[in-house]
Amino acid sequence: MPSLPHVVSRLRPPDFDAGSVWLVGAGPGDPGLLTLHALHALSEADVVLHDALVSPEILALAAGARLQPVGKRAGGARTHQLRINQRLIGLARQGLRVLRLKGGDPLVFGRGGEEALALAAAGIPFRIVPGVSAAIGGTASAGIPLTHRMLARSVVCATGHDLRGEAPDVTRFAGADTLVFYMGLRHAGALAEQLIEAGRAPDDGVAFVANATMSSQSVTLGTLDTAASVAATLSPDDPTLIVVGPVVALRDMLRPLQQTAPLTMLPEPMTAAGARR
Ligand code: SAH
Protein backbone atom coordinates (compact mmCIF):
# COMPACT_ATOMS: atom_id res chain seq x y z
CA MET A 1 0.00 0.00 0.00
CA PRO A 2 1.46 3.44 -0.81
CA SER A 3 2.35 5.46 2.28
CA LEU A 4 3.50 8.93 3.24
CA PRO A 5 7.19 9.19 4.11
CA HIS A 6 8.29 8.59 7.70
CA VAL A 7 9.94 11.98 7.78
CA VAL A 8 6.49 13.48 8.42
CA SER A 9 6.60 12.09 11.96
CA ARG A 10 9.83 14.06 12.56
CA LEU A 11 8.34 17.43 11.65
CA ARG A 12 7.90 19.76 14.60
CA PRO A 13 4.95 22.09 14.05
CA PRO A 14 4.59 25.34 15.98
CA ASP A 15 2.57 25.25 19.20
CA PHE A 16 -1.17 25.74 18.89
CA ASP A 17 -1.52 27.67 22.15
CA ALA A 18 -4.55 27.38 24.39
CA GLY A 19 -6.56 30.60 24.10
CA SER A 20 -5.47 31.27 20.52
CA VAL A 21 -7.30 31.10 17.20
CA TRP A 22 -5.92 29.69 13.98
CA LEU A 23 -7.59 30.92 10.78
CA VAL A 24 -6.88 28.06 8.44
CA GLY A 25 -7.47 27.40 4.76
CA ALA A 26 -8.60 23.85 4.02
CA GLY A 27 -7.95 24.04 0.28
CA PRO A 28 -10.54 23.40 -2.42
CA GLY A 29 -11.64 19.93 -1.32
CA ASP A 30 -9.02 17.24 -1.89
CA PRO A 31 -7.63 16.48 1.61
CA GLY A 32 -4.25 16.00 -0.09
CA LEU A 33 -4.15 19.76 -0.64
CA LEU A 34 -4.21 20.57 3.08
CA THR A 35 -1.01 22.14 4.35
CA LEU A 36 0.99 20.47 7.12
CA HIS A 37 0.05 23.40 9.36
CA ALA A 38 -3.62 22.73 8.66
CA LEU A 39 -3.24 19.03 9.43
CA HIS A 40 -1.48 19.86 12.69
CA ALA A 41 -4.18 22.36 13.65
CA LEU A 42 -6.89 19.77 12.96
CA SER A 43 -5.21 17.26 15.24
CA GLU A 44 -4.67 19.76 18.08
CA ALA A 45 -7.83 21.87 18.05
CA ASP A 46 -10.40 21.74 20.86
CA VAL A 47 -13.10 23.26 18.69
CA VAL A 48 -13.43 23.70 14.93
CA LEU A 49 -15.72 26.35 13.44
CA HIS A 50 -16.03 25.41 9.82
CA ASP A 51 -17.65 26.54 6.61
CA ALA A 52 -20.14 24.42 4.70
CA LEU A 53 -17.59 24.06 1.90
CA VAL A 54 -15.15 22.05 4.03
CA SER A 55 -15.49 18.38 3.10
CA PRO A 56 -16.43 15.65 5.61
CA GLU A 57 -13.14 13.85 4.85
CA ILE A 58 -11.22 16.87 6.08
CA LEU A 59 -13.42 17.34 9.15
CA ALA A 60 -12.84 13.68 10.00
CA LEU A 61 -9.18 14.60 10.61
CA ALA A 62 -10.28 16.69 13.61
CA ALA A 63 -10.96 13.56 15.61
CA GLY A 64 -10.64 15.12 19.07
CA ALA A 65 -12.42 18.42 18.43
CA ARG A 66 -15.95 19.69 18.80
CA LEU A 67 -17.25 20.66 15.36
CA GLN A 68 -19.35 23.80 14.96
CA PRO A 69 -20.69 24.49 11.46
CA VAL A 70 -21.01 28.22 10.85
CA GLY A 71 -21.12 28.03 7.11
CA LYS A 72 -23.27 29.79 4.66
CA ARG A 73 -24.17 28.64 1.20
CA ALA A 74 -25.62 30.87 -1.48
CA GLY A 75 -29.26 31.42 -0.55
CA GLY A 76 -29.06 29.14 2.51
CA ALA A 77 -29.07 29.79 6.23
CA ARG A 78 -26.05 31.73 7.39
CA THR A 79 -24.39 32.67 10.59
CA HIS A 80 -23.91 36.41 10.78
CA GLN A 81 -20.25 37.40 10.48
CA LEU A 82 -20.30 39.43 13.70
CA ARG A 83 -21.63 36.42 15.59
CA ILE A 84 -18.83 34.26 14.19
CA ASN A 85 -16.28 36.86 15.32
CA GLN A 86 -17.81 36.96 18.81
CA ARG A 87 -17.89 33.20 19.05
CA LEU A 88 -14.20 32.94 18.09
CA ILE A 89 -13.31 35.48 20.75
CA GLY A 90 -15.50 33.84 23.40
CA LEU A 91 -14.09 30.35 22.80
CA ALA A 92 -10.51 31.64 22.88
CA ARG A 93 -11.23 33.44 26.18
CA GLN A 94 -12.36 30.10 27.60
CA GLY A 95 -8.78 28.94 27.01
CA LEU A 96 -9.60 26.66 24.06
CA ARG A 97 -7.53 26.04 20.94
CA VAL A 98 -9.89 27.44 18.34
CA LEU A 99 -9.62 26.43 14.70
CA ARG A 100 -11.52 28.53 12.19
CA LEU A 101 -11.49 26.38 9.07
CA LYS A 102 -12.44 27.81 5.70
CA GLY A 103 -12.58 26.42 2.19
CA GLY A 104 -9.66 27.40 -0.04
CA ASP A 105 -7.64 30.25 1.43
CA PRO A 106 -9.03 32.12 4.43
CA LEU A 107 -8.27 35.54 2.97
CA VAL A 108 -9.55 34.97 -0.58
CA PHE A 109 -13.27 35.75 -0.62
CA GLY A 110 -13.32 34.14 2.80
CA ARG A 111 -13.72 37.10 5.18
CA GLY A 112 -10.70 35.87 7.12
CA GLY A 113 -9.42 39.43 7.19
CA GLU A 114 -12.49 40.56 9.13
CA GLU A 115 -12.02 37.77 11.64
CA ALA A 116 -8.33 38.56 12.04
CA LEU A 117 -9.16 42.24 12.65
CA ALA A 118 -11.76 41.30 15.26
CA LEU A 119 -9.28 39.01 17.04
CA ALA A 120 -6.58 41.68 16.98
CA ALA A 121 -9.01 44.24 18.41
CA ALA A 122 -9.99 41.82 21.18
CA GLY A 123 -6.37 41.04 22.07
CA ILE A 124 -6.60 37.37 21.05
CA PRO A 125 -3.42 35.83 19.60
CA PHE A 126 -4.01 34.25 16.22
CA ARG A 127 -2.28 32.64 13.28
CA ILE A 128 -3.28 32.72 9.62
CA VAL A 129 -2.57 29.51 7.72
CA PRO A 130 -2.98 29.99 3.98
CA GLY A 131 -4.72 27.38 1.88
CA VAL A 132 -4.83 26.49 -1.79
CA SER A 133 -7.50 28.80 -3.15
CA ALA A 134 -10.07 27.40 -5.56
CA ALA A 135 -8.72 29.48 -8.45
CA ILE A 136 -5.30 27.90 -8.03
CA GLY A 137 -6.20 24.35 -7.05
CA GLY A 138 -9.33 24.11 -9.15
CA THR A 139 -7.83 25.28 -12.41
CA ALA A 140 -4.76 23.06 -11.94
CA SER A 141 -7.01 20.10 -11.37
CA ALA A 142 -9.07 21.02 -14.44
CA GLY A 143 -5.95 21.18 -16.64
CA ILE A 144 -6.14 24.92 -17.20
CA PRO A 145 -2.73 26.64 -16.79
CA LEU A 146 -3.78 30.14 -15.68
CA THR A 147 -0.75 31.95 -17.12
CA HIS A 148 0.37 29.72 -19.97
CA ARG A 149 3.23 31.49 -21.75
CA MET A 150 2.20 33.15 -25.01
CA LEU A 151 -1.47 32.90 -24.06
CA ALA A 152 -1.77 34.73 -20.76
CA ARG A 153 0.33 37.22 -18.85
CA SER A 154 -2.28 38.27 -16.32
CA VAL A 155 -5.05 36.76 -14.22
CA VAL A 156 -7.88 38.47 -12.44
CA CYS A 157 -9.75 36.66 -9.69
CA ALA A 158 -13.07 38.34 -9.05
CA THR A 159 -16.33 37.70 -7.31
CA GLY A 160 -19.23 36.98 -9.63
CA HIS A 161 -21.86 38.28 -7.27
CA ASP A 162 -22.18 41.46 -5.27
CA LEU A 163 -23.57 42.26 -1.83
CA ARG A 164 -27.10 42.53 -3.23
CA GLY A 165 -26.72 39.07 -4.77
CA GLU A 166 -26.54 40.45 -8.29
CA ALA A 167 -23.87 40.43 -10.99
CA PRO A 168 -21.24 43.09 -10.22
CA ASP A 169 -19.81 45.39 -12.88
CA VAL A 170 -16.89 43.41 -14.29
CA THR A 171 -16.21 45.45 -17.41
CA ARG A 172 -13.01 46.85 -15.93
CA PHE A 173 -11.55 43.33 -15.79
CA ALA A 174 -12.24 42.58 -19.45
CA GLY A 175 -8.63 43.33 -20.46
CA ALA A 176 -7.09 40.61 -18.27
CA ASP A 177 -5.87 37.59 -20.26
CA THR A 178 -7.46 35.10 -17.89
CA LEU A 179 -10.41 35.74 -15.59
CA VAL A 180 -11.54 33.51 -12.76
CA PHE A 181 -14.90 34.19 -11.16
CA TYR A 182 -15.78 32.87 -7.73
CA MET A 183 -19.49 32.59 -6.81
CA GLY A 184 -20.52 33.52 -10.34
CA LEU A 185 -22.57 30.58 -11.58
CA ARG A 186 -25.95 32.23 -11.05
CA HIS A 187 -24.84 35.26 -13.03
CA ALA A 188 -22.77 33.57 -15.73
CA GLY A 189 -24.88 35.02 -18.55
CA ALA A 190 -24.74 38.57 -17.23
CA LEU A 191 -20.98 38.36 -16.62
CA ALA A 192 -20.33 37.00 -20.11
CA GLU A 193 -22.54 39.66 -21.69
CA GLN A 194 -20.61 42.43 -19.95
CA LEU A 195 -17.28 41.00 -21.10
CA ILE A 196 -18.47 40.81 -24.71
CA GLU A 197 -19.77 44.37 -24.52
CA ALA A 198 -16.39 45.44 -23.14
CA GLY A 199 -14.65 43.97 -26.20
CA ARG A 200 -13.89 40.30 -25.57
CA ALA A 201 -14.59 37.89 -28.41
CA PRO A 202 -17.91 36.02 -28.12
CA ASP A 203 -16.03 32.79 -28.88
CA ASP A 204 -13.57 33.32 -26.03
CA GLY A 205 -13.27 30.05 -24.09
CA VAL A 206 -15.16 29.55 -20.84
CA ALA A 207 -14.79 26.64 -18.42
CA PHE A 208 -17.11 25.87 -15.53
CA VAL A 209 -15.18 23.88 -12.95
CA ALA A 210 -17.50 22.39 -10.33
CA ASN A 211 -16.47 20.51 -7.15
CA ALA A 212 -12.88 21.04 -8.19
CA THR A 213 -10.25 18.61 -6.85
CA MET A 214 -12.91 16.28 -5.44
CA SER A 215 -13.90 12.93 -6.88
CA SER A 216 -17.10 14.64 -8.07
CA GLN A 217 -15.17 17.27 -10.06
CA SER A 218 -16.76 18.18 -13.37
CA VAL A 219 -15.55 20.56 -16.06
CA THR A 220 -17.90 21.92 -18.69
CA LEU A 221 -16.59 23.97 -21.58
CA GLY A 222 -18.32 26.69 -23.56
CA THR A 223 -17.71 30.16 -24.90
CA LEU A 224 -18.77 33.61 -23.74
CA ASP A 225 -21.78 33.56 -26.01
CA THR A 226 -22.92 30.12 -24.81
CA ALA A 227 -22.09 30.75 -21.12
CA ALA A 228 -25.67 31.44 -20.03
CA SER A 229 -27.08 28.29 -21.62
CA VAL A 230 -24.22 26.11 -20.37
CA ALA A 231 -24.62 27.50 -16.84
CA ALA A 232 -28.32 26.67 -16.93
CA THR A 233 -27.45 22.96 -17.26
CA LEU A 234 -25.28 22.95 -14.12
CA SER A 235 -26.26 22.44 -10.49
CA PRO A 236 -26.43 25.84 -8.78
CA ASP A 237 -25.54 24.29 -5.42
CA ASP A 238 -22.14 22.91 -6.45
CA PRO A 239 -19.18 25.21 -5.74
CA THR A 240 -18.17 26.33 -9.23
CA LEU A 241 -15.50 28.51 -10.76
CA ILE A 242 -15.92 30.22 -14.10
CA VAL A 243 -12.68 30.55 -16.04
CA VAL A 244 -12.53 32.79 -19.10
CA GLY A 245 -9.74 33.11 -21.64
CA PRO A 246 -7.67 31.33 -24.28
CA VAL A 247 -5.95 29.10 -21.69
CA VAL A 248 -9.20 27.18 -21.30
CA ALA A 249 -8.44 25.45 -24.64
CA LEU A 250 -5.42 23.70 -23.13
CA ARG A 251 -7.65 21.49 -21.05
CA ASP A 252 -8.52 19.18 -23.91
CA MET A 253 -4.82 18.66 -24.67
CA LEU A 254 -3.93 17.81 -21.08
CA ARG A 255 -7.00 15.84 -20.16
CA PRO A 256 -6.21 12.40 -21.60
CA LEU A 257 -3.21 11.84 -19.33
CA GLN A 258 -3.81 14.19 -16.39
CA GLN A 259 -4.34 12.32 -13.12
CA THR A 260 -6.68 13.97 -10.64
CA ALA A 261 -7.64 11.37 -8.05
CA PRO A 262 -7.93 13.01 -4.62
CA LEU A 263 -6.48 11.65 -1.40
CA THR A 264 -9.03 9.33 0.17
CA MET A 265 -9.23 7.77 3.59
CA LEU A 266 -9.70 4.16 4.54
CA PRO A 267 -12.60 3.44 6.89
CA GLU A 268 -11.69 3.35 10.58
CA PRO A 269 -10.70 -0.11 11.79
CA MET A 270 -13.41 -1.97 13.67
CA THR A 271 -12.83 -2.98 17.29
CA ALA A 272 -13.57 -6.53 18.43
CA ALA A 273 -17.01 -5.40 19.60
CA GLY A 274 -17.79 -4.19 16.11
CA ALA A 275 -17.87 -0.52 17.10
CA ARG A 276 -15.67 2.05 15.46
CA ARG A 277 -12.77 3.16 17.58
N1 SAH B 1 -11.94 31.08 0.34
C2 SAH B 1 -12.33 30.27 -0.81
C3 SAH B 1 -13.41 30.93 -1.62
C4 SAH B 1 -14.72 31.10 -0.88
S5 SAH B 1 -15.97 31.80 -1.88
C6 SAH B 1 -11.10 29.99 -1.67
O7 SAH B 1 -10.05 30.59 -1.47
O8 SAH B 1 -11.20 29.15 -2.56
C9 SAH B 1 -16.84 30.34 -2.42
C10 SAH B 1 -16.63 30.13 -3.89
O11 SAH B 1 -15.35 29.57 -4.12
C12 SAH B 1 -17.59 29.13 -4.53
O13 SAH B 1 -18.81 29.75 -4.85
C14 SAH B 1 -16.83 28.75 -5.77
O15 SAH B 1 -16.90 29.73 -6.76
C16 SAH B 1 -15.40 28.73 -5.25
N17 SAH B 1 -14.99 27.38 -4.85
C18 SAH B 1 -14.58 26.99 -3.64
N19 SAH B 1 -14.26 25.68 -3.63
C20 SAH B 1 -14.47 25.24 -4.89
C21 SAH B 1 -14.32 23.98 -5.54
N22 SAH B 1 -13.89 22.90 -4.89
N23 SAH B 1 -14.63 23.91 -6.85
C24 SAH B 1 -15.05 24.99 -7.53
N25 SAH B 1 -15.22 26.20 -6.97
C26 SAH B 1 -14.92 26.33 -5.68
Residues 36 and 121 in one domain: yes
Helix, strand, or coil (residue 180): strand
Residues 186-232: tens digit of each pLDDT: 999 999 999 999 999 999 999 999 999 999 999 999 999 999 999 99
115, 196: one domain: no
For residue 181, give the ligand 1 atom closest to its CA: 15
In terms of residue numbers, what domain contains 226?
A: 135-256
Say if 9 falls within a structural domain. Answer: no
Q: Which residues is 241 bridged to in the sheet?
A: 209
Judgement on whether residues 252 and 140 belong to the same structural domain of the protein: yes
Would you say the CB of residue 247 lies under 6 angstroms from ligand 1? no
The answer, yes or no, to whether residue 240 has pLDDT greater than 80, is yes
Task: Ligand 1, residue 74: give the atom nearest the CA.
Answer: 13
| Nearest in space to 214 (alpha carbons), one of 55, 40, 29, 36 | 29
User: Both 244 and 177 in a single domain?
Assistant: yes
Distance CA 212, CA 261 (A): 11
Residue 261 included in any domain: no
Most ligand 1 atoms within 8 A of CB, residue of 70, 109, 179 to mutate: 109
Tell me if 273 is assigned to some domain: no
Mean pLDDT computed over 236-259: 98
Region 116-134: mean pLDDT is 98
Same-domain status, 69 and 159: no
Q: Establish whether residue 28 lines the binding site of ligand 1, counting it when its CB lies within 6 angstroms of any ligand atom.
A: yes
For the chain, the average pLDDT equals 94
Summarised one tens digit per residue, pLDDT across range 93-107 is 999 999 999 999 999
Going by C-alpha positions, the residue among 129, 132, 109, 112 that lies closest to residue 120 is 112
What is the Å distance from ligand 1's center to 198 Cα?
A: 26
